[in-house]
Structure 1
Amino acid sequence: MTPPLASVALFFFVAVTAAVAKTDRADVEALNVLFTSMNKPSKLDGWKADGGDPCDDDDEWKGIECSGSSVTEIDLSGLDLTGSLGYQLSGLKSVTKFDVSGNKLSGEIPYALPPNLVKLNLQGNAFTGGVPYSISQMSDLETLNVANNHLSGQLTDMFSHLPKLSKVDLSSNRFSGNLPQSFQYLSGLKTLNLEGNQFSGHIDILAKLDLDDLNLQNNKFTGWIPSKLKDIDSLKTDGNQWSSGSAPPGMMKGSSAGSSSSGGSDSGINGFAIGALVIAVLLVAVILLSVLARKRSSPVSSHYYMDESGRTSSVEMQSLEKSTSMDCKTPPAVPRKSMNDNEFENKLNNSRRILDPISMVSYSSSDLQAATSSWHSSRLIGQGTIGRVYKAKYAGGQVLAVKKCDPLSFSGSSDFMEIVNGISKLRHPSICEIVGYCSEPGLYMMVYEYQMNGSLYEFLHLSDDYSRPLTWDTRVRIALGIAQALEYLHETCSPPVIHKNVKSSNVLLDADLNPHLGDCGLAFFYDDPNESLGPGYSAPECARPSGYTMKSDVYSFAVVMLELLTGRKAYDSSKPKTQQSLVKFVTPQLHDMDALGELADPGLHGLYPPKSLSRYADVIARCVQADPEFRPSMSEVSQELTGCVQRSDSDRRMGGGLYSASQRSDMSDW
């Protein structure tokens, strides 16, 4: 009887301990993960990798301040800490100050930061990647300091809703590209330090700010410095490529603010005129060549042409499963651009035939084990039907995603390589690209590009409004990207490829919130789509596994569209019974504009063009029809969503911008 009694006693001890703990459990768990991610440093007195009570006076943790049962401040500056920040900081909902400056922390700045920060200081570490988009939702943020790291890339437009932000320090990194247009909305900004980066373009946007301290030194800025900036108390502009000719009205010459000179007063004007003439000549030449090319070229078979006007109807077929004879036409590689880029849909519609497969890297298991910290739980980023997915990080800064497959899923290395070779032929900007593999006895792994913003499911559902900084335009573009990936699989690959696992957790978002559909080419493993998809995504015909067709993918895609529209999960057992299935709850209301306004994600704050919302809902209604024969093909869906994006862009260019729900009655002609 002793062991059972001991077990009961232990249970009650744990229960009582949890009941009397002073600190909120979510805060404790977040700090446990942070401690482990920083390699459990001994200098953090009181910290634990599991449990603890940091807000209890008898269990004081170094650098932690509390108010009641909530952690409110974390100050770990200058402690020579190593490791990373982990993945669970978003659980610290009461933390207003987070300071880990002056350490040796590395890796990417996690998307999951404390959501209600007032002061964020990550200065003087070795962080890589970019500034996470989650910062865009920190409406109380006053100080943002990421100086002296290894951050790079172009800043995303994330500053539209940060009215309290007064100090921004991005100095001594590797940022590049133009300044984001959303800088103009930083009405409270007083200090901006951009020194020591590779920013380029003009700085006109800064003239809209009421700055006291501006440091632009040692970048690649061009043009003239706005005259309004002369009134700034502290202005530093050396080390750029300012124009030296006569400044336009309202500007002052860069040389008068410490900029370099490169010629006489007329050289800038003459250079501009010559440049304009050259551009005009080139434009005429391009137009003439384009006309001649169209006249000389023969019609392209719709089987090989991805433009929306030349689609063939979809051919229903059984799943490709384990075929290596796929012949997929591949769009040319395009640079990753922000979802706000007006040419997004045009880039994705261009394609050409490429027969050579992607060159993949063969990784050793020991190499991948080292890059994932021996498959540490802190590196686990997902789990699917055939295995777990880990984040692999290399000393040079490269980050990859490794799908560690269940060895029982394959009959041997030849079986595994057959699958991998098939996946390598799937090449589309909105499909997760496989870049390598590991095939050793009993060890089978697939290596993919890593997408820093995680899955769409996490973005929409895990942290309430904080995790959904998605404008209506961005949501439509995400839906469009997924649609075009499925269109490519269904109608461009020969034979067609059925996905069988379309859901928001399989849509990954990169740094600019571009979507990438995962698990493509793995349909062989989804014998029962109901089981792999989970509740809420399966079409009615999936009650019979053999009944799954391409039109079943269309249904599942529509459920993802519903998630983007409503912010709700595909199936939520915490809701009243009539609302648990998203499709069953929303479908009857898709043609009721007033009901749609109520169903729209609160994270949108009512900001959407009502006509676009209605058109979007119409697409969903067609895709979730009970009879698969009546559902549209993915090329039809892509075309309709492309139209939505183009209309939105056209509306914005006309000065319309986004409209709130209260303005619907004024937009009936849109």
Structure 2
Amino acid sequence: MGAQGCWAMVIILGLLLQPQFLSSQNLTCNQKDWTALRYFMDNLTKTLEGWTTNSSADCCEWEGITCDPPSAGRVIKLVLPNKRLSGKLSDSLSGLDQLKTLNLSHNFLKDSLPLSLFHMPNLEQLDLSYNDFSGLIPESINLPSIRSLNVSANSLKGSLPSHICVNSSGIGFLSLAVNYFSGNISPGLGKCSSLEELYLGTNQLTGVVTEDIFQLQNLRRLGLQDNNLGGKLSPGIANLSNLVRLDISSNNFSGEIPDVFSELKRFQYLIANSNNFSGGIPSSLSNSPTVSLLNLRNNSLEGSIYLNCSAMVTLNSLDLATNKFTGPVPDNLPLCRQLQDVNLARNNFSGQIPESFKQFHSLSYLSLSNSSLHNLSSALQILQQCRNLTALVLTLNFPVETLPDDPNLHFEKLKVLVIASCQLRGSIPQWLSKISSLQLLDLSWNHLNGALPPWLGSYRDLFYLDLSNNSFTGEIPKSLTELPSLIHGNISLEEPSPDFPFFMKRNESARGLQYNQIWSFPPTLELGHNFLSGPVWPEFGNLKKLIVFDLKFNNLSGPIPENLSEMSSLEILDLSHNDLTGTIPPSLESLSFLSIFNVAYNRLYGKIPSGGQFQTFPNSSFEGNNLCGDHRFSCQDNTSEHVSPKRSRKNKDIIIGMVVGIIFGTALLIGLMYLFVLRTHKRNEVDPEKEEPDTNDKNLEELSSRLVVLFQNWESYKELCIDDLLESTNNFDQANIIGCGGFGLVYRGTLPDGRKVAIKRLSGDCGQMDREFRAEVEALSRAQHPNLVHLQGYCMHKNDRLLIYSYMENGSLDYWLHEKVDGPSLLSWETRLKIAQGAARGLAYLHQSCEPHILHRDIKSSNILLDENFKAHLADFGLARLILPYDTHVTTDLVGTLGYIPPEYGQASVATYKGDVYSFGVVLLELLTGKRPMDMCKPKGTRDLISWVIRMKMENKESEVFDPFIYGKQHDKEMLRILEIACLCLNESPKIRPTTQQLVYWLDKVTSLSSV
């Protein structure tokens, strides 16, 4: 055969073999694998798009499936994260015996993990994190090929599965975090000799860390945070020669930090805040050339701070706040060339900011609040040299010094400046006008005086200004009505490192202790408690982004401008205690977000608006004026037209004549009475003994006003008096404040026998005579129920009205859901349900069993307090007003909080039991979602929690509203049922809402759903 014939034969053979070759490249998946995937699919509540039960379908082409052609089309990868899968995990997946990767993370799969899943010989990566799996990890585990195992963020419980390493020694990544594993860490993890990352945080682990963990020489990251681990931190940590990051925060470790970190040549991050460490910073840390972040906040460390910055060449973030460090502020910190974030607040330093800080060019965030510093002038001269300084907090230092007015001071990049609560004297200096980048300025609680400079309105980015509690005079600069950031918004403040808590919040007191994250601040103009005069400018209506506008306790005059109704984002407007005249503009009814409005003690007259939010404001917001309104102050007493200045001048002579006549008549009457007394005196001798009871009555009245009335009649405290309460609260020291509500501040007090109580110091005029006050609080004391905060006693002394309550160890539900950083993760679904059930029982008692019946009128998460066992107790009930027995509504003193107020309260001044039910429904949504009822920092479509939840429910997206810390963790039916109950409570028609008795019944029945 010739050459051409040979080539022809080759071509023909190629054509004949081509279909067979192509088929080998497109083999359908193995029948065994197809069967396993079908059963997996059958256990899901929804079929995956593109997956089918057709036996002729090629599963290798399904989404998330990867097959390996050389091994006859066997499935080697099943990767379906974030697909909203729900249902159970079928043990049929063990039939995929060639599977190397299984990733079903971030779904809603539930129930227990199949035993067969832990016996797959070729499985290398298993990721089931962020699902709803429950139960125990199987005792028998054999995953010889496993390299990465992640079951974090589920509801797995029992002992920590340290036995996982017996037959899976090659594992390199293991995460068991955010579950409910409890008890001691048993030995066994040390057998995972290849382990590089181990995460056990946010469980319920106790005891000490087993030594075999410190034998993992390949370990790079170890997370043990948010447990109850204790004892001393083992020096065996030195064996972790490759360790990069260690997080042991929020545990109970004690003793000194072991001085072994010099053995860790790659170590960069130590997060050990919120423990009980004592002693000093170990030398191996203070000389570490590799450490980038050092967080030892909130311990009991002491001594002087020494860091060898010549060696610490990579240190970027330093947080040593809330310890017991003494001596001077360390002067060598500028030598840490990479150091940007420094928090040294709340220590016991002495002296002043060192001169060396002039060379601190890397510094960006600095907090030295409450550090006993002096010489503010020197501090500012030095810190202005920090050319990258962005935020500076110096609160509670420099007592009774003068705010420097050095024209040469200049902070080029400063965005945040807080020098509050320092009792500083002087005026606002001109050098502040040169800080063009300033966004937040707080000089509150000082003794500053003089006029407010017009250039305060020239800041392009200023959105938060607090100059309250000073002695400023003159008019409010009109330029403040032109602040661009309050007109157009676009506020963006750079955030420091997530591990750096930069504390700051508007001062509620001169101690300035209530701080929060900077970027959560509401746009604010706070000028209250000064001596400002002149008008409230109509142009303030331009500030459409302003949320807090507080001008109380000044000498402002003129009318309340109608234009304020254009401040569409306003939530707080306080104009009380001024000299304002005219009427309250009805246009303010359009401020739909307004939750606090106060114009008390001005010279206003006329009718109080009744639309919008106005029906929710208490009478105390309007007292001290000549105002009237439906169901408030009687308009019959104010029917005469308010006297204008012109009319006043016309009647001047008449008024003078009347005054003279009254004086003459009074003098004549006094003279006649005097003659009558003389005659009576002659007829009757005076018995001196008969005068004594009058004197004794006065003394008794004064004494009784100082005594504390305790309803339980504790014998040991029968002579407890106001002095004891003053001593128990350290004279109502701000450090003892544990709550602040619409009725006043709440202080922690310790009685002589050590018993803790909560003392509410009512704010403002109680509006009642002593006898009425006694009668009302005694009626409140009779409200006794396990889910109420018990009113144990009261005291009246001069103008003070004090209520004594049981002390709740765990604070409020609001604190755990919205304030405490790790609060939501610590509130399990079981705990949240128990809180809802308890609060409902307390409310039902107030509505139906208590005599007289009590309408709460301010149900919200901050009024649900938690004892040491997280049992719910309703607080602040009945303080608005008691209603008569068996009445179903009350028409005076409507109160409430934005986000919790039922819609009908804006239409008629009628507060009802069904209004309380509505507010309770909002609390249920908070428990389910972990979100606040109103969040002005979010986009408009998601600001209102109720509207958002209802919209998601209509779109069948209920699962997306639930707090990821709790959703589906074995309790999906229960949570969906609670959502239904909440929506019934939130019905716009009060008649459709359930009674509190129904609520208690339904909530108690919810737990039976988990067994259905």
TM-score in terms of structure 2 length: 0.30
Bigger strand fraction: 2
Q: Which has the higher helix share?
A: 1
Bigger RCO of structures 1 and 2 (CA < 8 A, at least 6 apart): 1
